[in-house]
Every structure is written in C-alpha cells, then in structure tokens.
Structure 1
Amino acid sequence: MRHIRRQNTDAAPFTDEHYPTFYGSDFSNTPFVWNGGINFTHGVASGDPLDTSVLIWTRAFPLGAGPDQSVPVCVQYKVFTSPALPGKPIDSAQAFTSWDVDFTVKFEVSNLKPDTQYFYVFSDCTNPKTISVVGKTRTLPSPDTPAALVNGGKPLTMAVFSCSQFQTGWFNAYGVAAHNTSAELFVHLGDYIYENVDGALPIGRDVMGRELATIHDYRQRYNQYRTDTSLLFAHQNAPWITVWVRIDDHEVADNAWKAGTTDSNDTAAGCSFSPSGACFTDRKLAAVRAYHEWLPVRQVTQFDQLRIWRNFQIGKLLDLTMLDTRQYDRDVTDVSFPAFQSYVYSSHFVTILTTRAVVGSLATVANRSLMGAAQEKWFAETLTQSQERGAVWRVVGQQIVFTQLLLGGAFGSGFPKQDDWDGYRANRQRVLDHLYSNKISNTIILSGDSHANWVSDLAHPNDTTTYNPLTGQGAIGVEFAGTAVTSPSAFGVGAPPAATDPISALFVAGNPDLQWSEGSFRGFFTLSIDSKEVNATYYAMSDISTPNLNAFVSAVFNVKSGKNQLSRPVAGGKVAAGVLKPTNLTST
C-alpha cells in the first residue's frame, strides 16, 4: 500500500497544523500520507543557531514513482545530547514535506540549553526504522554570557568559505575544515552554487541542466552540489550561517543588482537572455525559493523574503553581523554588456582592457549605496549597539572585498571590480566614518567572492597621514578576505605561485592598507576567537582535481583586542604562500 489513509491511522503522532513552506501550503485536509518508503538523499544539515534554538534540515525523497502533488511525506526528528542517541530524546516532533518544497524539510528545534552541543536524526513517520545519518549541531551562548565563559572558556572557532563551483573542482576545503580543524561554526559568504554551466575543468564534474532560470533549474543544481562528499560531511557536523552572493553571482545570476543582472532584466530584450525566457524578477524569486528550501537558513521576516541580513549575538564575546552587499536594494553595478576584457599576465605587469566606463563613473556618487538605505542604517545601528552591550568583537560577514584594491594606480580594471566596494566608495566611506567617529573598536570584516586571499588593516584608503602601514597605527579594524573553495583564480586559471605572486606584489605595493595577497591556491580560513585575541589561519588545498584532504597552512595572522590592527610583524613575518608587505616591521 503506497498511501496511508489518515482517518484510519491514530491521529496522535501527526500534527495537522499549517506547514510553513516558503510560499505557504496546507496539508491539514489531505486524506493520505505517503507510505511507500523514503530516502534521505542528501544527509542532514543545521544552521542559524541561536541560544535556545537551531534549524535542522533534511530531504526525504519518496522511493519509486512517489506520490502525486497532493500527498505529503511525514518526517520525524529526534534530538539527543550524545552521538550514541541513548534513551529518550530531549525533543521530538513531526512535520510534512511534499513536492511543493522539493521534499525538503526544516524544523526549528526550540527550548534548548545555550552553548551546548546536540545530535539529531530524522526518520520516516510511517516506518521509524528508516533513519538518516546522525547530525551534530550546537546552540550559541546567551547574549549576556561573559566573554571569558563563551564556549566553556575555550576559543570559539569558525570556518569561513565562499565560491564553490562544482565543475571546476572537488569541494575538499569543506572536508578539511570538518575533519582537520576545530571549527564549530561554518560561515559561508556566498556563491554556494553557480548558475552557469561553463568553466568546467577536465575532472569529470560537469553540471546538469542549463543556465539556471526556473525553480526546477535551481533545485536540480542544489541537488547536484549536495552530492559532494565533503560538503555533505561538513553540513552533517556543524551548524552553518550563510548569506548569498548577489542572489546574484551566482545563487541567481552574475552581477545582480535590484533591477537586473549581467545578462537579464525585466525588459523584452533582457528576458530573452535567459535560456527559458524567464525575466530577472522570475529568476530571482525562483532562486530565493530554492535557496530557502535547500539551506538551513531562517527567513528573517515573513514580510520580506529577500532580506537575509541579520545579526547573531554570541555571548559578550562577539556579534556576528551578516550583510547582503549584493542584492538587497543595491544600485546599478557592472552589467558587463557590452564589455570585453582581456587579461595578460607577466612577472611584472597586468594589462586589463575593459569598456565599463559608464558604471565606473558612478563609483564616487555620494548617495550611491551597496546595501540600500534600510540595511545601511540597520548596519550602523547594529555596530553601535554591539559596542554598547559590551561585546568584545564585531565580526561582519559579507560578500566582497572591502579594502581598496588599486592596480597600477587605477580603479575599475578587472581588479577592483565595479561591483565590489571600490565601485561604491561613498558607501565605504560612510562605514569607516561611523567606526572612527563612534570609536567602535575590535571590528573584523570577513569577505569572499574575489577568488583570492587578502588581509588588510581597515583605514581610509590612501590616508597615510593618520594610518601607518608599517606599524598599523591609526587603523580602526582588520579585514580577512578568503579565496574560493574551487572557483578559478582571477589572477589566472590554474596559475601557479610563480605567476600569481608578482601580481600580488603589485597589489601589496599599491595599496597601503593591504598587508598580504595570495592568488594561486583554493581554500578557506578559520577564525579562533577569545576575549583577548583573534587568530586567522588560512588553509590552501594542495589539489582539487580529485577528492582528498591534502592541505597546508599558508599563513596565520593575529589581532589583539583593543589594537584594531594586525599584530606586527604581520603573520609573524613569514607566510608559506603569497606576498607580505615588506617585513621590516616593528612589533607593537
């Protein structure tokens, strides 16, 4: 029998309440529940932890032909305090999923203890012997927990990622972080998937389907990405906190802003760029829906499905503030059409040709915004409130490099890109002014998207009268920008250090705030945070052409509480990859 008649089944195990799917569905009156067996096809995941709750996720795909669209699948979860799952669970509940949400299901597990590790498992309500793998997650400490007591007095470690393109490499960075580091939170800064189909390297990892446009397209791509073993293991073993890059580049399409992307908008011509004829707004809404289906992320407000900016208070140790610097009310950016770029690299120079002068001319417009007025106001208030509540650190997760990146003294030529902060200079100035004028200390900005590593002191660009790049005096914070999990380097696809280091040297020499640049290796970095210091450890993958856990530490950086700068000598004066600013530095 493929269906169970609900009226012939004890009603007690089932909750006939409205199931809050992304757009809303109600299965309270359905006469059947699927009883043909399910497969937890994509493991388990958790995310957006708070002090007393966390989201847990799975996908319960029906076996065989499956039910029609009107028949739900019932999924149960159980939560324990030990991986052995002993005795009675501390919490358990059931909910429905269906075709309407691609058979994904998210629960918010509530009434948990702060700063505590938990283990969870899913099962088929109609056959409890069918279970998922066991997931591991945790709650955050309560906002008033003293900084020295957060995480039981041990440093809190988070792993930071961005830009994972399926066809260009295996997601080994996720596996290294999950297997070989002590990271307890995974932070993803965007480009979790890519909407395009090109860029494949000869590693046997071609993506299915076409350039993404419809809900089917986006679901298919998430489905395929989540077959990577390292990604599955990383989701299984730690809660994730994510933002998209550009619902946009590439969770929707490349270089999105509030009214379009590189190749589409809502005009007749713009719609024709999409392989399905879908217009920009249709693509965006499909992408947002799939993102919320497939990732354990909270919908911040039911009235604004596009809002993903939010704040996590992690005891008195830190505020983790996640921004949307790519989609939410962003003013027009580099649409790359018509555009031509040619990159020519040598050991001493980079020639970059571009025709994006119009958008580039807007970079200094005073009211131009990367975040939109509402988010920008919220961000400033959040920074101020964080300091006022006594949090030691302010860690800002966002998508794009904040520090100025001039190349040969010029803006807007490949690097920096017009859709980075260098294309919204007045907005960056307002952020820095707020930090300086309000004496907001211990701010650390995390960045992704650039497919290269950059570490900088935070200061007004080119202002060497108040900021000393040798000692770090005059800085107001630090930026740690990480490379891609797999996406190719903008310094040259597959380029070895011998080819990328000369380019890094040009960047380091031409930008006073920039202290380290590295453009060859794919990888990630971790932040280890306690009340006295933050240590950033950068990991480089030895090989992404096969699945493996081979990696090395390319650099380690330190920031002391109250100093607002990288400790000198930067990286201890020695890195295993990339280029440091000249190391005749004095300790501070």
Structure 2
Amino acid sequence: MRVLLFSTALLACAAATRLLDNNLVYRSPFLDDVSLAHDTPAIQARHVEHVRRQMEDAGSFDDQHYPTFYGADFGNASIYFYCTTPFIWTGGINFTHSGAGDPFDTSILLWTRAVPVSPSGTHQLPDQSVPVCVAYKISTSSTLSGKVADSGQAFTSYDVDFTVKVEANGLNPDTDYHFQFSDCSNPSSVSPIGKTRTMPNPNTPANQVNNGKPLTLAVFSCSQFQAGWFNAYGFAAHNTSAQFFIHLGDYIYESLGNGAPIGRQTLGRELATIHDYRQRLNQYRTDTSLVFAHQNAPWITVWYVADNAWKAGTADSNDTTIGCSFSPSGACFTDRKLAAVRAYHEWMPIRQVDADDKFRIWRNFQMGKLLDLTMLDTRQYDRDLTDVYYNTEVVNTIAAFPNRSLMGAAQEKWFFNTLSESKDRGAVWRVVGQVLFIFLYAAHPIFLDLDAWDGYRANRLRVLDHLYNNKISNTVILAGDSHANWVSDLAHPNDSTTYNPLTGEGAIGVEFAGTAVTSGSSLGANIKPAAADAISRVLVESQSNLNLQWSEGSYRGFFTLTIDSHTMKATYYGMRNITFANLDGFATAEFEVKAGANKLSRPVGGGVVAIKAGALKSNGTN
C-alpha cells in the first residue's frame, strides 16, 4: 500500500509540473538551460512547500481546490504528502489581454494574461507561491457553442508576469477558429472570445487556398506609444478582410519621449530590465485598437530590443565599461538583450524556433502552394556592426565590404535555401518580411540608411544575385523601419543596362515598404502632405533612384496584400489623425503585380494615386 500511495503522489507531482509545462512561456528563452529558462519542477516544489493542506485533517479544512483537478479524489490529502496539488488562486482573474499567433496548418499558439484579482480592499497580489490556473478552448463556432476542437489547462504565475501561451492542436487547415480562456476555479470567469485562423496545408493547390478566394495580409511596423494612437491596427481589424497580421519590427520602443499632450506618456524609464520590458509591453497592450486587433487575427512578428541593435550592442549600450554606463538605464547589452527576449516571448504569441541558436526566430510559413512567407531577423541574430550614430562615417567606409552581413552567415544560407526550396515546391509567390531593401541614393541627404541594407551592400547584391542566377520569380519583399511608404521594382540598384524603370523589364521582383503605425516620418517630424509629396517627387524623379516608383511620407498607417494565384494587389492606407483614438483612415494608393511578371504592373498605380497621396515616377505612365 505504501508503494501505491507513493506512486500516486509522484503521478500527482508530474501532473502539476505538466500544467506548468503546458504554458510555453516557461520555456523562454531556453527550454533546457535552467539558468536562462524557468525550472518548472522547482516552481512546482515551491508551490507544494506552502500548501498547508498537506499537514491538516481534511475533514476540518475549507477546501479551496479546483474539484478533482488532476482527476483524483482529494478527500484524504495525506495520500499526497510527498508531492501534491498546490492550491490554485480562487480569488478571481482579470484577463487583461488575449490573442493568437504563429499559425500552422493544424495548430496555432493562443495567448493571454491572467492577472489575479487583488483581495478586496487591497492592492496586493496574492501569495506568490499560489499558481493561477487557466483553461482554454477553441472551436469553429463563433459562440464556442459547437464542438470543441481542442481544450486544455495551464498554470501561470508571477515568474512569467502571469502570461499564458499554449498550443492548440488537432485543428483543420485553412479554417477560421474562435477561442476563449477561463478561470479553472470559476469557469464563468472568461476572457473575450477571440478569432484566429490556421494556415492551409503546404500542399494545398494555390487556387484552392482560402476556398479559392484571395488571401489578405495586413502589414505593420514601428509603433511608438508616445508618438500617437495605434489607430492603424483598429482600422485594419475593423475595415479590411485581412486574415493574418504581419508585424515587421519595432512593436515597442525603449525610449520615453513626451506623449503627455496626447495622453500617451510612457511609464518607467528607458528599457533595460525584465521589469522595464514587461511594463512597456503591458502599457502598449492597453491601446484599444491593438487589443482588438490581437483578439481578431493571428499575428506573425519579429522582435525588438533597442535602437539600432546588432549582435554586440545597440545605439547606447554594449558590453564594455563605457557601454554599460553610457545608456541612461545603465544596462549592459547582454543583460538588456536577455531581458528583452524573455519579456517578448512572454508577451507575444511567437514560437520558440531554436533554443540553442542565438535566440533565433527567423522562420518560414508555407501557405499552401500559394505563397511562402519568410520572416527574417535583420536586427538581433548575427548582424555586423551598424550605424550607432557616433560611428556613421566609419560604417559608411566599410558598407560595401563583401564579408559584412545583415543576417549572419547561417541565416543568409538558410534564406537562400528557403527561396530555392519555395520555387522547387511550386509555390507561386515568395513574400519576405524584413527592413527597407532598395537603395535610396542621396537625392535627399537623409536617405542613406546605414542601419538597413545600405550599410550591407554586398549582402544585398548576394540576395539579388541569388534571385537572378536561380531564376526565382514572384519574389515580393515587405519592408518596415523607414517610417515612410516606398514602392519599387526589385533590381540591382540603378542598373539601367538590364533594368528599364519605365517598363519594369529586367526586374526580378517587387518591394512594398510601409510607413510607421505612429513613429515620426523620415521625411520630417509631423510633415504635412504637401511638403512630404514635394520631397517624394524629387526622389522618384531622380536618376539616382531608378527602381523607386512611388513615395509617400506624411501619413501614418499600414498596407495590405491581397493575393491569389494570378495577382497580388497592395493597398496602402493612411490614418488622418493619430492624436486620439479613432478609425478615420483611407486608401492612399493601390498597386498590382501579375504572377510571372516580376515587376509592378504598368501604368504603375493605374497612373494615379488616390487622394493625391505621395508621388509616382512620371505619373506611372511613361
């Protein structure tokens, strides 16, 4: 009997630890390195240590357990003396945020934050040894009244800022789903119902993806809290048919700024510690448009540490005596990066790609035979020295060196293989998310961007050479980071020998670069449309920018890609006012690419631009 009781106790212990492991946040940033990841058996042991139920007679104890939590009978607690169910928090949960991300064809990540409600009349959190138990379910029914496709439970705790990230499995490809979280101890306490979607199976014929209807992606970058309200997210979620939201970087900023005049004062200080990054992510996620967008579409994202980050530092921090003191936050780069990465994995529905490879998150999504979406990491993974403001001239002198890489050798090799494999498997389109790729020559002095591909010119040529030499068609590069809109044919910079900017002949693809959600324009802070258009006109007409076909730099916003097996259409949207929360936006321009053409359709933008936003090259007609 003693052996049986001990075995039962071990099973209960394993079940408790399993509910911690069900929450994928505990695996960030490394699953197998206890010094960096979270040791879930140790957390479980801490829970058990404080469970006084083990030591008292069950008959006189006010049972606050979730009934039969592990399918066991808790009438006699002494059975579980060795390793038992901990108490779970029963004082109520506030589901402050929820969302979904990194979808596959049969699974998707679901995310929420489940904050214990403070005891009545206090502002204190519950005992930190008490875990919060969260249940989830996912269904094709918008009311979750139909058959449940998957369900489960997971623990969270203060160790991971009360965040929960679980993987819903066994789903049907290319299908809309709805999901909801609830309090294990009070199933009537629930989060809002969220909407998400799986990707088509990689082998789904292109003309059958999304039931034969065009697939739409919404593309964003550069969301600075203090600069304005995130109206672009809400506009996209409310007013477009986008099935997937793609964020190309700068989801948060580490700086403070002055958002007080518009009610957007940032909390805390310049980001450095895990508390700093958690606080900032939390504050960003209070924006109503961002909350709604996360609840109504799956997100695919890349991360952010600090301004102009590269493999050994940022604009104001690195691992030197000077570098650790130079930052206003007093942070060394490595500590800052670890904090940022951990908080990001806690707060974002993103998969851990490779735990043993420099925080790798570059990854590829196969959306049937319609397209491959390749998300690069052109900031954190392994990029060489960038422009950190005091070294601009130095970086400019080495920008063309052949050994410089924006991606690092391993990612670059993977990227080239991914492009080739995409062609070989018969995908119609190759869509690549990263930073501004085209070379904007110095027709205007602010456009030599050494923090993007301008600082890694040989690396850019290697990408183009791979596309040309391997005859890889239908490549569409998506770009953020520049805080303005740019549309270009993809060709070797200013190669008038093989590329014709009037007809597009000789191009190997197209680049759609989007402006910021709120961050200030690279054409000038708060620049008005007329002034921005004047600069854009100079840029697109310059003989130094043959590839550039359209430029617009006043409006903050985003763009969508509507894709089928024959055509890709990009629609750009501008927000009229970001100084308060609203959904007042409009389409500024539309562009089209035909499969196999590898260039923008002529006349570019139909020869006109809606609402006269921005400037076309020769009006796109001759």
Q: Same fold (TM over 0.5)?
A: yes
Contact in 2 for aligned 1:15/1:95 (Cα 8 Å) = no
CA distance in 1, matches of 2:385, 2:291: 36
Letter of the structure 2 residue corresponding to residue 362 of structure 1: I
Q: Give CA-to-partner distance per residue, 1:316-347, whole Å, 9 cap, x none.
A: 00000000111211100001127xxxxxxxxx
Alignment of 1:206 with 2:275, yes or no, is no
CA distance in 2, matches of 1:405, 1:538: 20
Alignment of 1:491 with 2:530, yes or no, is no
Q: Give CA-to-partner distance per residue, 1:435-454, whole Å, 9 cap, x none.
A: 00000000000000110000
Q: What's 2:577 paired with?
A: 543
Match of 2:280 among 217, 221, 240: 221
CA distance in 2, matches of 1:584, 1:214: 49
Contact in 2 for aligned 1:13/1:94 (Cα 8 Å) = no
| Richer in helix (by share) | 2
CA distance in 1, matches of 2:361, 2:620: 43
Match of 2:440 among 394, 397, 405: 405
Letter of the structure 1 residue corresponding to residue 100 of structure 2: S
Q: What's 2:103 paired with?
A: 49
Distance 1:87-1:182 versus aligned 2 partners, 3 A rule: closer
* Residue 373 of structure 1, CA deviation: 0.1
Q: What's 1:80 paired with?
A: 139
Larger Rg over CA atoms? 2
Contact in 1 for aligned 2:269/2:329 (Cα 8 Å) = no
Letter of the structure 2 residue corresponding to residue 371 of structure 1: M
CA distance in 2, matches of 1:473, 1:16: 60
* Residue 170 of structure 1, CA deviation: 0.5
* Residue 89 of structure 1, CA deviation: 2.0
Q: What's 2:308 paired with?
A: 255
Matched residue SS, 2:135 = strand
Kindly report which structure 2 residues correspond to 1:335-484, keeping only aligned pairs within 5 A, or say none: 335-337=388-390, 356-398=392-434, 400-408=435-443, 413-484=445-516
Q: What's 1:567 paired with?
A: 601
Q: What's 1:160 paired with?
A: 219
Match of 1:514 among 548, 554, 567: 548
Match of 1:149 among 179, 201, 208: 208
* Residue 306 of structure 1, CA deviation: 1.4
Q: What's 1:35 paired with?
A: 89
Matched residue SS, 1:480 = strand
* Residue 201 of structure 1, CA deviation: 6.6
Q: Give CA-to-partner distance per residue, 1:384-442, whole Å, 9 cap, x none.
A: 000000000000011x210110122x8xx431211111111000000000000000000
Alignment of 1:197 with 2:261, yes or no, is no
Deviates more, 1:483-492 or 1:576-585: 576-585
CA distance in 1, matches of 2:268, 2:358: 26
CA distance in 2, matches of 1:297, 1:37: 30
Alignment of 1:59 with 2:73, yes or no, is no
TM-score by length of 2: 0.86
Structure 1 runs of 4+ aligned residues shifted over 4 Å read 10-15
Q: What's 1:346 paired with?
A: none
Letter of the structure 2 residue corresponding to residue 447 of structure 1: A
Distance 1:467-1:28 versus aligned 2 partners, 3 A rule: same
Q: What are structure 2's unaligned runs of at least 5 residues?
A: 1-7, 29-36, 49-85, 119-123
* Residue 502 of structure 1, CA deviation: 1.6
Distance 1:24-1:13 versus aligned 2 partners, 3 A rule: closer
CA distance in 2, matches of 1:584, 1:298: 42
Q: What's 1:24 paired with?
A: 38
CA distance in 1, matches of 2:214, 2:547: 27
Matched residue SS, 2:446 = coil
Q: What's 1:578 paired with?
A: 614
CA distance in 2, matches of 1:94, 1:11: 15
Matched residue SS, 2:216 = strand
Contact in 2 for aligned 1:156/1:528 (Cα 8 Å) = yes
Match of 2:363 among 310, 335, 351: 310
CA distance in 2, matches of 1:12, 1:182: 46
CA distance in 2, matches of 1:518, 1:199: 26
CA distance in 2, matches of 1:337, 1:36: 54
Letter of the structure 2 residue corresponding to residue 94 of structure 1: Q
Q: What's 2:195 paired with?
A: 136
CA distance in 2, matches of 1:14, 1:319: 39
Give the share of equivalent positions with the same residue, in percent.
66
Distance 1:127-1:320 versus aligned 2 partners, 3 A rule: same
Contact in 1 for aligned 2:90/2:186 (Cα 8 Å) = no
* Residue 302 of structure 1, CA deviation: 2.1
Contact in 1 for aligned 2:608/2:620 (Cα 8 Å) = no
Contact in 2 for aligned 1:114/1:142 (Cα 8 Å) = yes
Letter of the structure 1 residue corresponding to residue 436 of structure 2: V
Q: What's 1:119 paired with?
A: 178
Q: What's 2:57 paired with?
A: none
Contact in 2 for aligned 1:169/1:201 (Cα 8 Å) = no
Distance 1:145-1:584 versus aligned 2 partners, 3 A rule: closer
Contact in 2 for aligned 1:213/1:275 (Cα 8 Å) = no
CA distance in 1, matches of 2:111, 2:141: 19
Q: What's 1:527 paired with?
A: 561
Contact in 1 for aligned 2:522/2:553 (Cα 8 Å) = yes
Contact in 2 for aligned 1:36/1:66 (Cα 8 Å) = no
Letter of the structure 1 residue corresponding to residue 523 of structure 2: F
Deviates more, 1:175-184 or 1:268-277: 268-277
Q: Give CA-to-partner distance per residue, 1:47-88, whole Å, 9 cap, x none.
A: 000000000000000111223333211110011111111145
Q: What are structure 1's unaligned runs of at least 5 residues?
A: 1-6, 245-250, 339-355
CA distance in 1, matches of 2:514, 2:92: 39
